[in-house]
Each structure stands twice: as structure tokens, then as C-alpha cells.
């Protein structure tokens, strides 16, 4: 049911003959964020919206009738200009009671339906939005500056939303229908896209989009956002350069992938890097990178390629560094083994809420690999494979920080010994409801200091002295 599939079903969710409204209701303010009174929207507003939907749907149908829709592609600026003129003409014919701004918005929305992803286009063009979360056609949340907000963006109905989902996933050769109701994909700007549709999603299609802004977050941003201090960045730079194995831990949306991407940027350019991900999110700048992505099973349940298979294959590709987007299953054992058998400098992330939790999670995931290893043996593997654990956290009110940088020192009896080298200490919540605090060096010198020095890192030992770092927080 793709827009480009043919003229007969070429409307974006507004099939000819269907009564109805297409796309987003009038946003109550320029940002599209719902004001609280919108929850109890008066009836008159509903009727106005209904009329607006109908008008837009009518315009869209007329446009589709006049266009060779198969030639429409989202990147064609000239065509968009031509079609715009056509839409302006159609709007004028309608003689609708719209002021200049309303007309302009209507024109843009009809164009978005035709060329892009309909109501999603407005959200996708806002660089400050980091997550778009759609719970059925009438509810859409966004995350902006670390805070969740309800928006007024709506889809006409389930069909309309399904149509947009189909448009996205078919562009990357995937499908989403009753036989395959779960799908991951990537948008044209690199954003991660996930959809779950009925019957699995009970209240209508659910979509989660993780944006990676046009300008990815850099180390300079990290420092200016107060997510880290320059001394920690310098230390992490040495650790990556000296090929330590680093595990990033954090909860959902805490910034693990962003951190992984930035740590990977410290890998020296002459090294061969293999990245393995479920949906490619990393964007490494080095010239010598091989990017691998898993593949879901096809409709007959065949052809799935897992992270584990890609990892095993990567070992035969003479990598200097292996970067795995996330270890969430049996591949964890292979990752530890790779780290223990000469693939130093590997980086990965694990979903866990603390450094200790991460160890337990790794134990559980290793047990999923089917080998009956005693817990002590798993811990030994862990302790000798991982040199450093870096924790990312999303704190109260939204700020994301690197909250601990911890050295894994070894084993004492059955217990893995770890020492924080740097840590964020939360001191309170400010008047905007956001957590604030300070970064400290704990006074512990890492035991791998000699390794850093022998790798040529100009280590300034004074950064490990017990101290509070001045924090630059312009956020
Ligand atoms: N230090 C930071 N400051 C501000 N925003 C950040 C920071 N780190 C990450 N973000 C933003 O937070 C969002 C989540 O980041 P990211 O995808 O890296 O998290 P994640 O832990 O990998 O999430 P998931 O668990 O869903 O994989 C992204 O939009 C990213 O741009
Ligand atoms: Mg991630």
C-alpha cells in the first residue's frame, strides 16, 4: 500500500471515497506542543478540526488525481515547487475561510502528505526533538531537551498511521503487516525507527523514533552540556587510544549509543574497525570502517542473522577494533572471549542501571549462550576482559551525564573488584526540576596507568588527585 505503488491507491491514507480527515490537527502553538486545555478541547474546536481534515483530504485527493504520483520522490525540490503551485491553485478554488497563515500551513501539510511522512514531517524537521513516541493515531509524545511533552500531532486513523509506517519500512526493504507486526528501520536522516502494529499493539499502531540530530552530539557538546568535564574526556581518549576494552552501561535512552559513538571517535585512524549493530546508528568518521547490521527473519521465519553470527564472522575479518552496538543476548560470551583473545580495544554497551547491575546482567546473558559456565568462571572472564566501565545516566529533569568511570581491577575470591576513578555526585534539584551536582576525581589512580604511558599517552597524573572539577553547564 505504498504511495508510490500506483495511482489507484495513491493517497496518503485518504483513499478516494473515504469520508474523512487526513493528518494533523491544527497545532495550538508553533511548536506543536499540546497545551493543557487541549485535553478538554471544546466541541466547536473538534468540528473545526473535522472540517479542516475534510478540506485537506479533499485537496489531497484532487492533487493525486492530477499528478503522476509514481514520479513523486521526497528529495525532488523542483517537483515540490511545481506541485506547490498546483496546491496553491487548488486551495484558492476551494474558497475556504482561511487566513494567510492557515492557508500556508494547509499547503505545507498537503505537500508533506504527498512528498513525505505526513504529520511526522513537522516533528522531524525540529532539530531539538530527540524522541518521537506515537501511541496510536491520536497520541503523540516528543522528548525535547530531556523532557517528555504531549503534542497535538494526530493521524486521521489507524489506516493513516499504518500507511506512513508502510512508507517508511518499504523504503528500506522491510514490511510491517499482520504477519510481521514488529519492525525496525532507519529513516532517511539516520533516525532509529520501531513500529509495533495491531494485533500486538492493542490500542493502534505504536511508533518509537530515536532521533540523532542533524548535528550529532560531540565531545565539545558533552562538555558544554555539563555531561562530562574535559579531564574525563582526556582520560577516556587515552583509554581508547591505548586499546582498553570498554563497557558502556546505562538505562533506556540514557545516552549509551551517543557515548559509544563518541568514544569510537578516539580510535586511531589507521586501525581497521568493524561495527556490529541491530539497526545502524553509529557514524564513525574514520576511513577504515566495515559496518555490519543484523537481519530479521523473513516471512517464512528464515534468514535471520544475529549479532552473535556477525560477531563470529567479524573475528575472521582481521579487525583491529570491534564495536558492538549493544550486547543483549548470547553474543555477550563471544564478546568477552574476543576481548580476552587478542581483540583489545573493543567497545560495547549493556543495558543496566549501575555498574554492579551490569555485571549481573552480563552473567545472565552469558548463561543464555547455552554453555553451563559456573558464575565464578563468568566473572573471571568479565574481570579479565573488561578494563573500564563507563556509565551513562539520564538524571531527574532530563540532563544526561557520564556518572561513573570505573576501573575493573580483578577478582577477590568470588567478587569482581572495581574502583570508581571519576564520578558525578548529585547535589540536588534546581528550580527547573533538573538534577545538578559536581564531577569529582576519587583520588584512585588506575592500575593500567603504565599501559597508558607505554602506549604513548601523555598522561597527566594530577587529574587523578582527589578533587572537585569546575563544571561548565550552559544547558
Ligand atoms: N550528553 C547528552 N546530552 C544531551 N542529550 C544527549 C546526551 N547523550 C545522548 N543524548 C540524546 O539522548 C537521546 C538518547 O541517546 P542514545 O540513543 O545514545 O541513548 P541509548 O542509551 O543508546 O538509548 P537506547 O537504550 O534506546 O538504545 C538521543 O536523542 C541523544 O541525542
Ligand atoms: Mg542505544
Name the domain count of the chain: 2
pLDDT of 202 > 70? The answer is yes
Q: Is residue 243 assigned to a domain?
A: yes
What is the rounded distance in angstroms from the CA atom of residue 359 to the CA atom of residue 338? 17
What is the rounded distance in angstroms from the CA atom of residue 243 to the CA atom of residue 232? 17
CB-count exposure of residue 137 (10 Å: 0-12, 13-18, 19+): buried
Which residues have CB under 8 Å from 432's CB, separation 6+?
A: 397
Cell numbers at 396, concatenated: 531527574
- The pLDDT, as a whole number, for residue 90 is 84
Helix ranges, 154-218 (H): 158-171
Ligand 1, atom 28: closest residue by C-alpha: 130
CB of 227 sitting under 6 A from ligand 1:
yes
**What is the maximal distance between C-alpha atoms in the chain?**
82
- The pLDDT, as a whole number, for residue 361 is 94
Does residue 22 sit in the same domain as residue 104? yes
Q: How far is the CA of 63 from the centre of ligand 2 (A)?
A: 40
- The pLDDT, as a whole number, for residue 37 is 40
Does residue 177 sit in the same domain as residue 238? no
Nearest-CA neighbor of 237 among 215, 258, 268, 216? Answer: 268
Does residue 46 sit in the same domain as residue 111? yes
Q: How far is the CA of 60 from the centre of ligand 2 (A)?
A: 38
* Alpha carbon 138 to chain centroid, angstroms: 23
pLDDT of 38 > 50? The answer is no
Does residue 168 sit in the same domain as residue 148? yes
pLDDT of 77 > 50? The answer is yes
Whichever domain contains 67, its CATH number is 3.30.450.90
Q: How far is the CA of 252 from the centre of ligand 1 (A)?
A: 9
DSSP code at position 469: E
Which of helix, strand or coil describes residue 57? helix
Condensed to tens digits (0 to 9), the pLDDT of residues 129-166 reads: 989 999 999 999 999 888 899 998 888 889 889 988 98
Q: How far is the CA of 210 from the centre of ligand 2 (A)?
A: 9
Does residue 298 sit in the same domain as residue 342? yes
Ligand 1, atom 10: closest residue by C-alpha: 255
Does residue 191 sit in the same domain as residue 268? no
Cis ω before 202 (30° cut-off from 0): no
Q: Is residue 417 assigned to a domain?
A: yes
Q: What are phi and psi of 33, to 5 degrees?
A: -85, 135
Q: Is residue 310 assigned to a domain?
A: yes
Provide mean pLDDT across the span 214-241. 92
Ligand 1, atom 26: closest residue by C-alpha: 253
Q: Is residue 67 assigned to a domain?
A: yes
- The pLDDT, as a whole number, for residue 196 is 96
Cell numbers at 204, concatenated: 493502534
Domain end marker among 170, 187, 210: 210
Q: How far is the CA of 225 from the centre of ligand 1 (A)?
A: 13
Please tell me the least confidently modeled range out of 3-17, 369-383, 414-428, 452-466.
3-17
- The pLDDT, as a whole number, for residue 211 is 86
Residue with cell 491553485: 89
CB of 190 sitting under 6 A from ligand 1:
no
CB of 253 sitting under 6 A from ligand 1:
yes
Closest ligand to the CA of 249: 1
Does residue 225 sit in the same domain as residue 202? no
Ligand 1, atom 25: closest residue by C-alpha: 252
In terms of pLDDT, which residue wins out, 93 or 203? Answer: 203
Domain end marker among 154, 186, 210: 210
Does residue 228 sit in the same domain as residue 86? no
What is the rounded distance in angstroms from the CA atom of residue 124 to the CA atom of residue 401? 25
- Cα-atom radius of gyration of the chain, to the nearest Å? 26
Provide mean pLDDT across the span 11-22. 34
Does residue 138 sit in the same domain as residue 254? no
Does residue 180 sit in the same domain as residue 242? no
- The pLDDT, as a whole number, for residue 69 is 53
> Which residues pair with residue 295 across a beta bridge?
305
Q: How far is the CA of 144 from the centre of ligand 2 (A)?
A: 17
SS3 content of the chain, % helix, strand, coil (to 5): 35, 20, 40
Q: What are phi and psi of 295, to 5 degrees?
A: -130, 130
Ligand 1, atom 8: closest residue by C-alpha: 255
Does residue 280 sit in the same domain as residue 166? no
Condensed to tens digits (0 to 9), the pLDDT of residues 328-366 reads: 999 999 999 999 888 899 999 999 999 999 999 999 999
At residue 71 the predicted structure's pLDDT band, cuts being 50, 70 and 90, is low
**Average pLDDT of every residue of the chain:** 83
Q: Is residue 475 assigned to a domain?
A: no
Q: Is residue 398 assigned to a domain?
A: yes
DSSP code at position 464: G
Condensed to tens digits (0 to 9), the pLDDT of residues 287-307 reads: 999 999 998 887 777 889 999
Q: Is residue 474 assigned to a domain?
A: no
> What is the residue range of 206's domain?
3-210
With contact defined as beta carbons under 8 Å apart, do 110 and 60 qualify? Answer: yes
Quickly count: other Cβ atoms within 10 Å of residue 68's Cβ. Answer: 9
Which residues have CB under 8 Å from 74's CB, separation 6+?
A: 115, 116, 188
CB of 222 sitting under 6 A from ligand 1:
yes
Which of helix, strand or coil describes residue 317? helix
Does residue 174 sit in the same domain as residue 293? no
Which of helix, strand or coil describes residue 414? coil
What is the rounded distance in angstroms from the CA atom of residue 389 to the CA atom of residue 347? 10
At residue 50 the predicted structure's pLDDT band, cuts being 50, 70 and 90, is confident
Ligand 1, atom 4: closest residue by C-alpha: 400
Q: How far is the CA of 316 from the centre of ligand 1 (A)?
A: 31
DSSP code at position 24: P
- The pLDDT, as a whole number, for residue 145 is 80
Please report, for the chain, how many H helices and E strands are present, in that order. Answer: 13, 16
Q: Is residue 11 assigned to a domain?
A: yes
CB of 130 sitting under 6 A from ligand 1:
yes
> Which residues pair with residue 182 across a beta bridge?
196
DSSP code at position 3: G
CB of 391 sitting under 6 A from ligand 1:
no
Which of helix, strand or coil describes residue 182? strand
The atom number, within ligand 1, closest to the CA of 260 reads 18
- The pLDDT, as a whole number, for residue 26 is 40
pLDDT of 472 > 60? The answer is no
CB of 255 sitting under 6 A from ligand 1:
yes
Q: How far is the CA of 263 from the centre of ligand 2 (A)?
A: 14
At residue 76 the predicted structure's pLDDT band, cuts being 50, 70 and 90, is low
What is the rounded distance in angstroms from the CA atom of residue 110 to the CA atom of residue 197? 25
Provide mean pLDDT across the span 158-186. 85
Domain end marker among 151, 175, 210: 210
At residue 113 the predicted structure's pLDDT band, cuts being 50, 70 and 90, is confident
- The pLDDT, as a whole number, for residue 73 is 53
Q: How far is the CA of 254 from the centre of ligand 1 (A)?
A: 5
What is the rounded distance in angstroms from the CA atom of residue 301 to the CA atom of residue 286? 36
Q: How far is the CA of 7 from the centre of ligand 1 (A)?
A: 40
Q: How far is the CA of 457 from the centre of ligand 1 (A)?
A: 29
DSSP code at position 4: G
What is the rounded distance in angstroms from the CA atom of residue 454 to the CA atom of residue 239? 12
What is the rounded distance in angstroms from the CA atom of residue 437 to the CA atom of residue 451? 32
The atom number, within ligand 1, closest to the CA of 258 reads 18
What is the rounded distance in angstroms from the CA atom of residue 396 to the CA atom of residue 403? 13
With contact defined as beta carbons under 8 Å apart, do 462 and 449 qualify? Answer: no
In terms of pLDDT, which residue wins out, 472 or 419? Answer: 419
What is the rounded distance in angstroms from the CA atom of residue 363 to the CA atom of residue 351? 13
Condensed to tens digits (0 to 9), the pLDDT of residues 235-251 reads: 999 999 999 999 999 99
Cell numbers at 261, concatenated: 559513538
Whichever domain contains 406, its CATH number is 3.40.50.300
Q: To test ligand 1's pocket by mutation, which of 144, 255, 281, 353 has the most ligand atoms within 8 angstroms of CB?
A: 255
CB of 217 sitting under 6 A from ligand 1:
yes
- The pLDDT, as a whole number, for residue 13 is 37
CB of 210 sitting under 6 A from ligand 1:
yes
Residue with cell 577494533: 321
Nearest-CA neighbor of 221 among 265, 252, 187, 191? Answer: 265
- The pLDDT, as a whole number, for residue 418 is 96
**Environment of ion ligand 2 (residues, CB < 5 A):** 256-257
Amino acid at each position: 500500500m505504498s504511495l508510490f505503488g500506483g495511482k489507484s491507491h495513491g493517497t496518503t491514507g485518504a483513499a478516494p471515497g473515504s469520508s474523512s480527515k487526513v493528518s494533523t490537527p491544527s497545532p495550538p502553538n508553533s511548536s506543536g506542543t499540546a497545551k493543557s486545555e487541549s485535553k478538554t478541547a471544546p466541541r466547536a474546536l473538534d468540528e473545526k478540526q473535522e472540517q479542516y481534515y475534510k478540506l485537506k483530504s479533499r485537496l489531497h485527493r484532487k492533487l493525486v488525481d492530477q499528478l503522476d504520483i509514481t514520479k513523486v520522490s521526497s528529495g525532488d525540490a523542483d517537483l515540490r515547487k511545481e506541485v506547490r503551485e498546483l496546491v496553491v491553485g487548488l486551495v484558492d478554488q476551494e474558497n475556504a475561510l482561511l487566513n494567510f497563515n492557515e492557508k500556508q500551513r494547509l499547503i505545507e501539510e498537503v505537500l508533506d502528505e504527498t512528498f513525505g511522512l505526513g504529520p511526522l514531517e513537522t516533528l522531524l524537521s525540529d532539530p531539538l526533538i530527540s524522541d518521537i513516541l506515537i501511541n496510536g493515531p491520536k497520541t503523540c509524545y516528543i522528548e525535547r531537551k530531556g523532557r517528555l511533552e504531549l503534542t497535538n500531532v494526530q493521524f486521521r486513523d489507524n489506516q493513516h498511521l499504518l500507511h506512513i509506517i508502510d512508507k517508511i519500512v518499504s523504503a528500506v526493504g522491510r514490511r510491517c503487516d499482520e504477519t510481521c507486526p514488529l519492525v525496525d528501520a532507519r529513516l532517511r536522516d539516520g533516525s532509529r525507527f520501531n513500529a509495533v502494529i495491531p494485533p500486538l499493539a492493542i490500542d493502534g499502531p505504536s511508533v518509537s523514533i530515536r532521533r540523532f540530530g542533524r548535528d550529532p552530539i560531540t565531545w565539545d557538546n558533552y562538555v558544554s552540556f555539563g555531561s562530562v568535564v574535559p579531564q574525563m574526556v582526556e582520560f577516556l581518549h587515552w583509554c581508547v587510544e591505548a586499546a582498553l576494552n570498554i563497557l558502556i552501561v546505562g538505562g533506556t535512552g540514557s545516552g549509551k549509543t551517543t557515548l559509544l559513538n563518541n568514544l569510537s571517535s578516539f580510535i586511531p585512524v589507521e586501525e581497521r574497525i568493524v561495527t556490529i549493530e541491530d539497526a545502524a546508528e553509529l557514524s564513525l568518521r574514520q576511513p577504515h570502517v566495515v559496518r555490519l547490521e543484523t537481519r530479521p527473519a523473513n516471512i517464512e521465519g528464515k534468514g535471520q542473522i544475529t549479532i552473535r553470527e556477525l560477531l563470529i564472522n567479524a573475528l575472521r575479518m582481521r579487525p583491529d577494533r570491534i564495536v558492538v552496538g549493544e550486547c543483549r543476548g548470547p553474543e555477550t560470551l563471544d564478546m568477552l572471549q574476543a576481548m580476552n583473545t587478542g581483540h583489545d580495544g573493543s567497545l560495547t554497551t549493556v543495558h543496566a542501571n549501575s555498574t554492579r547491575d551490569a555485571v549481573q546482567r552480563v552473567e545472565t546473558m552469558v548463561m543464555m549462550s547455552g554453555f553451563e559456565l559456573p558464575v565464578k568462571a563468568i566473572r573471571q572472564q568479565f574481570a579479565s576482559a573488561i578494563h573500564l566501565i563507563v556509565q551513562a545516566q539520564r538524571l531527574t529533569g532530563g540532563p544526561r551525564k557520564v556518572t561513573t568511570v570505573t576501573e575493573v581491577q580483578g577478582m577477590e575470591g568470588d567478587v569482581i573488584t572495581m574502583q570508581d576513578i571519576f564520578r558525578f555526585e548529585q547535589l540536588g534539584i534546581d528550580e527547573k526540576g533538573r538534577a545538578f551536582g559536581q564531577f569529582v576525581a576519587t583520588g584512585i589512580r588506575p592500575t593500567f596507568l603504565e599501559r597508558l604511558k607505554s602506549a604513548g599517552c601523555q598522561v597527566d597524573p594530577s587529574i587523578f588527585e582527589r578533587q572537585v572539577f569546575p563544571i561548565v553547564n550552559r544547558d
